[in-house]
A and B are shown apart, each in its own frame.
Chain A
Amino acid sequence: MKTINKALKKKKLNANNLVFACVSVFLILFTASMILPFLWMLITSFKSAADYTVSTFSFPSEKYGGWQFENYKIAFELLPIRIVDWSVGYIEISVFRMFLNSLILSGLGPAIGLIQPALTAYIVAKYKFKGSNFIYSLGIIVMILPVYGSLGLTLKFAKWVGYYDNLILQVLLSGSPFGFTFIFFYGVFKTLPWSYAEAAFIDGASHARVMFQIYFPLMLPIFATQYILSFISSWSDYMTTTVMAPSWPTLGYGIYMFQQRASINGATVPQIMCGFIMMGTVTAILYLSTQKLLLEKMNVGGLKG
């Protein structure tokens, strides 16, 4: 009997080992698939066009000009794009202007986007009043109930109100009180004790002061995480320009057009890679300088309600 048990246990362990051996192999392949293209991109960005044509995978060869650092300069010069302006035909948008547009979208947008769910989540989590449960349930329903087909109407409405093709107005009018951020903030606010507020009320603090000077500062690491994540994801946004603000090209749109029109503007594959690297550098610096905070706070909870 003992021998049979031992054999069964060994068999179980073998199955376990086999599964995790397969997982290891899979993860090695995944890691390679993530890292190798970036190495390839980096190496390719220093090659001459002839070098790339002769060999896609090799390091820059002296035979074809060696390491081409000026690819970055050329890519930077080719990055400006031309957009249609009905009054003058075409106007050229400089890299600086695209950078500024990206900064408006990614710097201001996430901040505006955080205000609404933060205010709503704080009130619903911290105050009991008629309708607080309703607002919470509404938050859940809005998040999980899909509503489709309003893009056309949104465009029409934006033109009618006047925020179509105006990036600043669009950013100011963006955001939603609900969504994942609301649920996330609600969960965190719920864990913070109300006794801080009670003590502050005894000392004569107002509700607004309690919210802005006690609870919001306590949430600062959470707000910062959400802000940085939103900044990173919107930094390369090109759809806002495509759909809503064609006269306000962002860097993402610039890079998208730069590689789409490579055959027209004469950019080579190595120079396109330079463009990608320049685009990714900002988010890479931001991510690497805040990664400890981001990795700790990236969490998704349940959907109670």
Chain B
Amino acid sequence: MNERKISKTKAVEYRFIFLTLLYPGIMFLVFYVGLNSASFAYSFLEYDADLNLHWAGLQNFKKAFEMIFQGNNSLLGRGIINSISIFLVLNVLGIPIHMLTSYYLFKKRLGYRLIRFSAMMPSIVSGFVVSLLYIRVIEGPIPELLLKLGIVEEEIRILWDPKYNLANIYIYSFWTGFGSGLIYYPNAMNQVNDEVIESATIDGASDLRILLSIVMPSIYPTLTTFMVSGVAGIMGNAGPLYLFYGYDAPPETYFSGYYVFQQTMSSKTGTAETLYPFLSAIGIIFTIISAPITLFTKWAMEKFGPSED
């Protein structure tokens, strides 16, 4: 009798679990599993002259690899190089700067409220407006200022000049990404036990020592999350190229994500989607490159990072 009651209770519980997971489950199966599986299958097909799909074997992959190995000579190869480079530069430079500046805010040093407020600007007036404003500033007042200060001899077009346009994207990406770190890292630092920091201060530890030995190990999980999701997103990075240039970004500024986006959208308006199988193959290659690197990054950061003790 009792057993029957328990099994009835369990049945009610399982029914609830099933019904609750039904909606998210269907959405996941259709929009994640279904679409990505279809994209995988598509990568082995191609369109003929009559726009019928037929089996292409590894043809799309061969073509994609040929483009990748051309490096800077192809838009795809250049896009991959740029995407990896910007990730490395922003992180090698960015993480130490983020740690130091976040610690400054965490310690509530002079002007921390104003700094925090300015870091939130993209959230306050929306990142999109900040980006549009950036374009206007970089196209108007900045060249004028550089000219007035005698740094350049004639007015430059930073967005379009091959001498400056890639560097401009690096600066823009650092500038816009920096603020979000100034919100998340100090918040994570606030979870650190105050007493531990106090006793370290009494023992004469400097701020740098406290940051390196107490604070950074404590916020290591947050750091890992940012790093892993950053690595996972390298190949999909389209940068601000659409915002800056629409579909006509200069070749030297290409990013891998932008290449796929630009090609997809161009084919949408132009050539009857004939490029989709090839772009699916590129997507598979991106996944094959990124997945092990991402999993390795997660494993390495957990393995070689500070222990929770």
Contact = CB atoms under 8 A, between A and B. Distances in A.
Contacts of A284: 124-125
B73 interface: no
Given A150-B283, A152-B267, A34 B187 contact: no
A120 B24 contact: yes
17 contacts: A129-B13, A146-B287, A146-B291, A149-B39, A149-B281, A151-B260, A152-B42, A152-B279, A153-B42, A155-B264, A177-B24, A208-B16, A272-B136, A276-B125, A299-B188, A300-B184, A303-B228
Contact of A211 (B12, B20, B184): B20
A120 B28 CA distance: 11
A236 B134 CA distance: 15
A233 B129 contact: no
A144 B109 CA distance: 35
A279 interface: yes
B127 A13 contact: no
A238 interface: yes
Nearest to B137: A37
Report whether over half of chain A's contact residues are helix, strand or loop; otherwise say mixed. Answer: helix
A302 B36 contact: no
B118 interface: yes
B287 A147 contact: yes
B221 interface: yes
Interface in B151-208: 175, 178-179, 183-184, 187-188, 204, 206-208
Interface of B: 12-14, 16-17, 20-21, 23-25, 27-28, 31-32, 35-36, 38-39, 42-43, 97, 100-101, 104, 109-111, 114-116, 118-121, 123-129, 132-134, 136-137, 140-141, 144, 175, 178-179, 183-184, 187-188, 204, 206-208, 220-222, 224-226, 228-229, 232-233, 235-236, 242-243, 246, 257, 260-261, 264-265, 267-268, 273, 275-276, 279-284, 286-287, 290-291, 294-295, 298
Interface residues of A, number: 94
A294 B279 CA distance: 39
Nearest to A280: B125
Nearest to B9: A201
B24 A119 contact: yes
Contacts of A16: 206-208
B262 to A, nearest CB: 11
Interface of A: 9, 12-13, 15-16, 19-20, 23-24, 26-28, 30-31, 33-35, 37-38, 40-41, 56-57, 115-117, 119-120, 122-123, 127, 129, 135, 142-157, 173, 175-178, 180, 206-208, 211, 229, 232-233, 235-239, 242-243, 252, 255-256, 259-260, 269, 272-273, 276, 279-280, 283-284, 287-288, 291, 294-295, 298-304
